[in-house]
Structure 1
Amino acid sequence: MSQLHNTIERSFRRPARSARAAVDMRDRHGGRRMSAGITIAAAVLVLAQLLHLVSFASAFPAGRDPWPAWAALGGILAAGVVCRLITPVMPGWVYLALFTALAVPVGLDVVATWGLLHLGVTPTAAPAAATVLMPVTTLRGRRIPIAVASSIGGVIALLSLAQLPGAGAHVVEGLAIAVWAVLPVVVSAVAVVGFRRLVGRELDLSLVQSTVATPRSAVGMRASEELARLDFDAESLLEDVGSGRLPIPLPADSALRAGQLAAKLRVRLIEGRTDTWLRHAVTESAYLSRRVTVDDPDGVAGLLSPTQRDGLLLALWLLAGERRPRHSSAVAVVVRVRTDALDHDDSVAVLAIEIEVSGVARRHLDPAMWDALGNVGGHEVVSGSESILIELVCPVDPNAPAVASAPRRPNEGKMNA
């Protein structure tokens, strides 16, 4: 049964409704504002290129007209806005068509400005076409917009270098325009990636924070989803028997199905005795589950008060979320919870919690982690070069009632390291 339980823990995925909620929150709380800000920044950069063109438009010789390129770019932008208004979620082929259409203003602009770099005339519609890809990084990922912008910037750079004999020092202006075409898209992509990572971590923490308010032994999202499936399967089987669709005794396949349901229910009943909030919080978190291991065979972590739970969860979050260089080993955290035999009576007990952290040095830890541990209990630290052992002594009330509500996270605390 323990092997089946470990298999279930490793294969856990956040329920679909929770995943959808996380995505909706990411889109509604801050995501749209970032998208709007990037769009405004792109519009300002496009306008700057247009003003740049106006400043040297008189230098174009007869027969060279840069305005068709801008007209083509304006048509593409208008088509993109209309498609976006019609359907908020545009299919991939629409984006592919818009990306391909950008070759028109880029080509017209390159033809209109070719051989004029010695006069200070540089492409304007081409870098503007690359700049309009900035909002796309918030909608369709970052790789394709960066690749398209890099292609446009590469074309501008090659054409500028090809005019080196006649343009002289003006080649620097052409290369600067090539960088202009690529850099804003790269910056916006980096900002979007960082924003999504930050929001994803905070949403995950908010979702698992609900475990702080659970009773001493309770089921989490993983168990509740499994119990719902088991309940549905059991009801379906009983309904088939009651309606006469299945004879008594049961056929071999139905009997096997009933036996499997009974085994899974027994596993859930047995593990429910020691499956505490701490195990739920670690298992159900997309971040903690990869780095944190809980060793609590007696399920005594449920004795911690709401304040202690909140502090321990925040400390584990800060430990597991420590960013490490790529060449370094990953951070691994092992939490061992035991009942200390000392200072134990009917009203007060002491929990001994050991947090073993490997893959990170003490000097790299977030100071807020020590503040969080201060709300759990007194602690001592044994430091190594790449490992830390934190020993916590936590007074608890063994007769405390079930937790009813989660506390607010404390903002102040003393460092006790």
Structure 2
Amino acid sequence: MSETPQDRATSSVRSFSRPGRTARAARDVRESHGGRRLATGVTVAAAILVLAHLAHTVALGPYYPPGPGPWPAWIALALVVGIGVVARLAGRILPDWLYVLLLIGLLAPLSLDVFATAGLLHHGVTPTAAAAAGAVLMPVAAVWGTRISLASATVIAVVLAAEAVLQVVSAGAFTVVGVAVAASAVFPVLLVTLAISGFRRLVGLELDLSLVQSTIGTPRSAVGMRASEELAQLDFDAETLLDDVGSGRIAIPLPPDAAERAGSLAARLRVRLIEGRTDTWLRHAVTESAYLSERVTVDDPTGCAGLLSQGRRDGLLLALWLLVAERSKRSAPPMAVLVRCRERSDDAPDATGFDLSIQVSGVTRRRVDPATWDAIGRVGIHDVVTEAEGFRVDIDCRVDPNVNTGSPSVRTGRQIEGN
């Protein structure tokens, strides 16, 4: 069954992804602000751990048998770290293949150190350069990626732990020391991984909120990033088609392929014109957010949310943000938020406003952050109704007729007919 122009228009509207310039801005903010400081702190902590392992090596020097001892492993580790530092200073971003090469290079100090300390655990001699190789992976996790760094540190820890366990008969109680050294190779990387994951999630939430907050200052019926990008493309496609017809490159009557293009453009324009009447700031904020779009649904057929003042809009957006940040229990259904806006009838006691409800499922009322209720209080007088799988917040949204909502046709809480 062939896809109609209307279907293509609808799918193009729904398959929105944030523009590339916004994604680049997000990466720049994450790297230039807290991300760079976090990487610097992790690098300093890794250097301290490496120096501690080096001091441990010097202290164990008299217990090694005659020969090169642990120093070949330390030289190999210094070469790998030196190549990585020089490459990092020479270029701001290291290619992935170089990272992989450096990770493979860590096998040299690991194997040399294991060979140098084999059978010496009963003297209290443990691998040091290999454990320091695990600490070297800490800045790699902060700069490149956490999964591969954590997996590499785990491999190092498993090898060191296996070496200690194999000497349990001769080493006795020193086996615990060997296992502890093995844990020291992976535990710092695990802590860094948890810290980086939390940091990236926090920065992503705050950055996305800052970007989406620009929608609260838009008029009642205004286009957002999604619509502006699509309208610009529609304008270009329509202008190209008209230019082809006007210059004679496309004959009249239009051939089937050109007629299908024209029909598709017309269908997409109709979709935008229809949605533009009720496409308020709230719908833009939810659609354009990488976090709200996954859990929040807006049901506002008449565009009532556009009547809210900027202060009330900011409170509603913050309340939704805090609700989405709550995590549902494993036994509860997935987290979902439904925002429903409805006009009041003409015979209502107060028709200069509308009713707004926020239905939350998957999270109980007592788990909601107190700041959420403060944000909801900025929107209007509210009442909370407890339900089986969550709760519902009914808000009485009063609209000041003198508040400028960006639409000259709005005098009260109701939209003038024909607008």
Give 3-state SS (helix, strand or coil) of 1:388's partner. strand
**Counterpart of 1:139?**
143
Matched residues in 1 for 2:11 and 2:296: separation?
16
Give 3-state SS (helix, strand or coil) of 1:93's partner. helix
Matched residues in 2 for 1:10 and 1:244: separation?
35
Q: Name which of 233, 237, 243 aligns with 1:239.
A: 243
Matched residues in 2 for 1:212 and 1:320: separation?
18
**Counterpart of 1:314?**
318
Q: Does 1:375 align with 2:378?
A: yes
Matched residues in 2 for 1:372 and 1:294: separation?
18
Give 3-state SS (helix, strand or coil) of 2:137's partner. coil
Matched residues in 1 for 2:160 and 2:245: separation?
75
Measure how far apart 1:183 and its partner are.
0.4
Instruction: State whether residues 358 and 393 of structure 2, in contact with CA within 8 Å, keep that contact through their aligned partners in structure 1.
Output: yes
Structure 1: stretches of 5+ with no match in the other structure: 405-417
Map 1:204-223 → 2, pairs under 5 A:
204-223=208-227
Instruction: State whether residues 327 and 363 of structure 2, in contact with CA within 8 Å, keep that contact through their aligned partners in structure 1.
Output: no
Distance 1:31-1:213 versus aligned 2 partners, 3 A rule: same
Matched residues in 1 for 2:402 and 2:242: separation?
40
Measure how far apart 1:2 and its partner are.
9.1
Q: Name which of 397, 400, 403 aligns with 2:400.
A: 397
Distance 1:59-1:403 versus aligned 2 partners, 3 A rule: farther
Which stretch shifts more, 54-63 or 287-296? 54-63
Q: Deviations over 1:308-361 (max 9, x none)?
A: 10001111111122112444321111111112233446xxx1211011111111
**Counterpart of 1:410?**
none
Instruction: State whether residues 343 and 350 of structure 1, in contact with CA within 8 Å, keep that contact through their aligned partners in structure 2.
Output: no
Instruction: State whether residues 382 and 395 of structure 2, in contact with CA within 8 Å, keep that contact through their aligned partners in structure 1.
Output: yes
Q: Does 1:279 align with 2:283?
A: yes
Q: Deviations over 1:132-191 (max 9, x none)?
A: 011111233222111111111111111111111111111111111000001011111111
Instruction: State whether residues 161 and 179 of structure 2, in contact with CA within 8 Å, keep that contact through their aligned partners in structure 1.
Output: yes
Q: Name which of 78, 93, 102 aligns with 2:82.
A: 78
Q: Deviations over 1:266-301 (max 9, x none)?
A: 211121111100111111111111111111111111
Give 3-state SS (helix, strand or coil) of 2:172's partner. helix
Matched residues in 1 for 2:8 and 2:276: separation?
14
Q: Does 1:162 align with 2:158?
A: no
Distance 1:199-1:403 versus aligned 2 partners, 3 A rule: farther
Measure how far apart 1:119 and its partner are.
1.3
Instruction: State whether residues 241 and 247 of structure 1, in contact with CA within 8 Å, keep that contact through their aligned partners in structure 2.
Output: yes
**Counterpart of 1:388?**
391
Measure how far apart 1:250 and its partner are.
2.3
Distance 1:344-1:3 versus aligned 2 partners, 3 A rule: farther
Distance 1:239-1:5 versus aligned 2 partners, 3 A rule: closer
Distance 1:399-1:231 versus aligned 2 partners, 3 A rule: farther
Matched residues in 2 for 1:254 and 1:46: separation?
68
What amino acid does structure 2 have at the position aligned with 1:355? I
What amino acid does structure 2 have at the position aligned with 1:238? L
Give the TM-score of the pair, scaled to structure 2.
Answer: 0.92
Distance 1:2-1:283 versus aligned 2 partners, 3 A rule: farther
**Counterpart of 1:259?**
263
Which stretch shifts more, 287-296 or 335-344? 335-344
Structure 2: stretches of 5+ with no match in the other structure: 408-419
Matched residues in 1 for 2:325 and 2:236: separation?
37
Q: Does 1:116 align with 2:142?
A: no
Measure how far apart 1:376 and its partner are.
0.4
Instruction: State whether residues 212 and 306 of structure 1, in contact with CA within 8 Å, keep that contact through their aligned partners in structure 2.
Output: yes
Matched residues in 1 for 2:359 and 2:84: separation?
54
Computed over aligned residues only, the root mean square deviation of the Cα atoms, in angstroms, reads 1.8
Give 3-state SS (helix, strand or coil) of 1:245's partner. coil
Instruction: State whether residues 311 and 372 of structure 1, in contact with CA within 8 Å, keep that contact through their aligned partners in structure 2.
Output: yes
Which stretch shifts more, 123-132 or 19-28? 19-28
**Counterpart of 1:407?**
none
Matched residues in 1 for 2:206 and 2:321: separation?
10
Q: Name which of 363, 366, 370 aligns with 1:360.
A: 363
Measure how far apart 1:244 and its partner are.
2.4
Measure how far apart 1:71 and its partner are.
0.8
Matched residues in 2 for 1:375 and 1:280: separation?
21
Measure how far apart 1:212 and its partner are.
0.3
Matched residues in 2 for 1:285 and 1:254: separation?
36
Q: Name which of 281, 295, 298 aligns with 2:299.
A: 295
Distance 1:222-1:229 versus aligned 2 partners, 3 A rule: same
Give 3-state SS (helix, strand or coil) of 2:357's partner. strand
Give 3-state SS (helix, strand or coil) of 2:150's partner. helix
Measure how far apart 1:403 and its partner are.
5.2
What amino acid does structure 1 have at the position aligned with 2:159? V
Matched residues in 1 for 2:406 and 2:8: separation?
29
Q: Deviations over 1:345-388 (max 9, x none)?
A: 6xxx1211011111111011111000001100000011134210
**Counterpart of 2:109?**
105
**Counterpart of 1:412?**
none
What amino acid does structure 2 have at the position aligned with 1:358? S
Identity level (%): 58
- Give the number of aligned pairs: 401
Matched residues in 2 for 1:13 and 1:101: separation?
39
Matched residues in 1 for 2:26 and 2:349: separation?
44
Matched residues in 1 for 2:42 and 2:155: separation?
21
